[in-house]
Amino acid sequence: MADARGKDGNLYLFPRMATKDNYSRIGIVKVLFDEAGNPKRVEQIGIALEPEADYEKRPDGGGYIGYAFPAL
């Protein structure tokens, strides 16, 4: 999970959200704080990234297979 402070001063989290079939997305949530500055709860904002290309949506979850990494 990643996090970042927005220009608005709010803290945002970017969790990976996956289904049982390994179809994953990256969500956006905003952390809400109490008066003392302690995290109180999160508010789901939406989806930051989700599969769009055909190779990203393959049912076997294999992803892109057109590139081989060189040996180290």
Residue ranges and CATH numbers for the domains of the chain are 2-52 (2.10.70)
**Structure confidence at residue 20 (pLDDT):** 77
What is the dihedral angle through the alpha carbons of 8, 10, 16, 19, rounded to the nearest 10 degrees? Answer: -100
CA 29 – CA 46 distance, rounded (Å): 7
In this predicted structure, the answer to whether residue 9 has a pLDDT above a threshold of 80 is: yes
**Structure confidence at residue 13 (pLDDT):** 96
In this predicted structure, the answer to whether residue 44 has a pLDDT above a threshold of 80 is: yes
- Residue 13 tokens, joined: 């989290």
- Residue 65 tokens, joined: 């297979």
What mean pLDDT comes out for the span 13-27?
86
pLDDT-derived band at 64, boundaries 50, 70, 90: low
